[in-house]
Amino acid sequence: MRTFSIIGTLFLLFCIILQAKPLVNKIDDWDENATKPKHDTVRMMRAMPMAAAPMMKRTVGLAVGGAKDQNNFIDNLTYGYLPKTDAISYEGVFYDHYFKTARHQSCKALFCPTYEIASAPDLFTGERRYFVSVGLDSGLDVSKLHRKPLNLVVVLDISGSMGAAFDRYYYDRKHPAKAQKSKMRIATQSIAAMTKHLRDNDRFGVVLFDDTAYLAKPLRRVGDTDMEAIRRHILALKPRGGTNWSAGFKQALALYKKVTKEGYENRIIFLTDAMPNRGELSKEGLLGLSKAAAKEGIHTTFIGVGVDFNPTLVAYISKVRGANYYSVHSSEAFAKRLDKAFLYMVTPLVYDLEMKLVSNDFAIDAIYGSPDTDISSGNLMRIRTLFASDNSEAGVRGGIVLLRLKKIGRGEKIRLKLHYTDAQGKRHSVNREVSMHDAAVRIPYYQSSAIRKAILLSRYVTLMKNWLIDAHAQCNDRVHYAPVPLPMLKKRCMIYPPLRPRFRRLSQWERRSCPLRVSEGYRKLFAYFARHYKSEMQAIGDKSLQKEHKVLLKLSKQHEKRKRDDWQL
């Protein structure tokens, strides 16, 4: 019996050995000497399917590239600073919400645009406004959504400003003893969380930059890399030196010359506080690098860190094909968001979308929800990229673009001609005729709660951007302008921002903070709009709109403590 037991045990061990996989020595290829002083260093979508969601969804949705949140805007208000004008955008606010589009149940195409109409009076003039929404729906079954394996290069800003506290402006030179985590700490924790979403067949590399660029980790297959060791190295990084954006970007591009790009999603994720003070500062220079990379199939995601993150330069780059950007609220919140959103961050599905409005009766007056807004022709809308987006019972996250139309004729018909390119380079067309009759004979008129919600949020963003334009004109230690009469303020507070006669972007990259101040005129406008907003929120029946309502209430109660210039001329 004992002999039989020994033989059985040996046989069992033999079977285990036969089934065991050979040991693989994973590589810790981090270059510990990367940042030591040295010369400058200048079609088929296939892979593992997306993990099953807790709640099965029939199809995916689509959302516009560009900004993916309003975190930087909210953070500045929270800590008592005046946000930058580009800290809030229409597409960023839309992506914070879900929209129930009028889905084509029978549509099986990659992109199934839906159209809804509305008319509503201007809040202050009473003038009739016409709207058409473009629902960004898709017929792609969520179980068939795959992402390509990734060639992913993280480019991390390790300049001195990244050592400042998350809730302070670096150039204020105020570094209190007790403050939040540093921007560097939040950035490295966010990268570490991001790496946990990589698969064995992805490739991963890291570039660091301050005054120059350093290759910290070559672009290598994740399955062959000791990722736990890499995460420890990332978390141990310290800030130093100046800032040279283009050096970091060029170093990242150099890595792609050493690997196969075909069959991969090639993406650079750029983490920074967006305050370049050395190297190439021109928008055209960095914009040119991003555009050239996009032509080679290398796309860019920007992630901004800190309340002093300057989104102005990034706002230009986000118009590039395949680009998007996020603002880190906190490393914990970002990690939680990635659990659901990493796939959507790196999966563009639709490119070079063009929609032409053909009508003798209406023309495009404003476009809300696309960073690439150009209404000079009056009949054309362009969107560089649509990414995959979450689709739930609440609707499609960020799944809408809103057009405001102006009446130029007596008729009520419009034709919408839409063209787009899929990820395999195939061009598609969708044509649709829409009648504006109901919107013309009734005011207000909303074909659905989705378009009503989009109109409300677009008006919210318009009011905020006009306030920021006016508030920044009185910032940076200048003598305050005379208060603007309320009737005049009402006329300009809802002007489509790109059409503002004095819409000027800030020329300085290195800036001190502006204190949060709300003039008496804007305080009254915020209070009025807050009442309108609450009424619409209740009519729509969507509690997610409370986020913006709280902002309006905060600003309506923000009394301005103004210092006087009492010099007697």
Lowest model confidence (mean pLDDT) among 74-88, 288-302, 366-380, 501-515: 501-515
The pLDDT of residue 173: 66
- pLDDT tens for 46-88 read 333 434 434 444 789 999 999 999 999 999 999 999 999 889 9
The pLDDT of residue 477: 46
Lowest model confidence (mean pLDDT) among 1-5, 251-255, 265-269: 1-5
Give the residue ranges of DSSP H helices in 428-519.
437-441, 449-472, 486-492
pLDDT at residue 241 tops 60: yes
Lowest model confidence (mean pLDDT) among 112-126, 210-224, 509-523: 509-523
Helix (H) or strand (E) holding 129: strand 128-141
The pLDDT of residue 39: 45
Of 116, 175, 88, nearest to 463 by C-alpha is: 88
Location of structure tokens 């839409």? 418
Task: Find the mean pLDDT for residues 492-507.
Answer: 74
The pLDDT of residue 569: 46
Contacts of residue 53, Cβ cutoff 8 Å, sequence gap at least 6: 142
CATH 3.40.50 describes domain 99-143+349-448? no
Q: Could you tell me the residue ranges of all domains in the chain?
A: 99-143+349-448, 146-338, 452-556
The pLDDT of residue 279: 44
Say if CB 206 and CB 195 are below 8 A apart. Answer: no
pLDDT at residue 478 tops 90: no
The pLDDT of residue 230: 96
Task: Find the mean pLDDT for residues 117-127.
Answer: 92
Contacts of residue 177, Cβ cutoff 8 Å, sequence gap at least 6: none
Structure tokens at 406: 């102006």
CATH 3.40.50.410 describes domain 146-338? yes
Single pTM value for the model: 0.87
The pLDDT of residue 528: 95
User: Rounded to whole angstroms, how far apart are CA atoms 59 and 72?
Assistant: 31
Contacts of residue 526, Cβ cutoff 8 Å, sequence gap at least 6: 463, 467, 518, 552, 555, 556
- pLDDT tens for 9-21 read 655 555 555 455 4
Helix (H) or strand (E) holding 414: strand 413-422
Lowest model confidence (mean pLDDT) among 135-149, 237-251, 470-484, 548-562: 470-484
The pLDDT of residue 35: 76
Helix (H) or strand (E) holding 214: strand 213-221
The pLDDT of residue 318: 80
- pLDDT tens for 274-328 read 776 544 456 566 778 888 999 999 999 999 999 988 887 778 778 889 999 999 9
Lowest model confidence (mean pLDDT) among 27-36, 75-84, 495-504: 495-504
The pLDDT of residue 565: 55
Contacts of residue 441, Cβ cutoff 8 Å, sequence gap at least 6: none
Based on the number of CB atoms within 10 Å of its own CB, is 479 exposed (0-12), middle (13-18) or buried (19 or more)?
exposed
Task: Find the mean pLDDT for residues 390-401.
Answer: 93
Question: What mean pLDDT, rounded, does the chain reach?
Answer: 84
User: Rounded to whole angstroms, how far apart are CA atoms 325 and 568?
Assistant: 49
Of 471, 549, 511, 79, nearest to 311 by C-alpha is: 511
Helix (H) or strand (E) holding 118: strand 112-121
pLDDT at residue 403 tops 70: yes
Torsional sign, CA 526, 529, 535, 537: negative
Contacts of residue 393, Cβ cutoff 8 Å, sequence gap at least 6: 55
- pLDDT tens for 553-564 read 999 997 655 555
User: Rounded to whole angstroms, how far apart are CA atoms 238 and 252?
Assistant: 20
User: Rounded to whole angstroms, how far apart are CA atoms 372 and 319?
Assistant: 6
Give the residue ranges of DSSP H helices in 296-327.
311-317
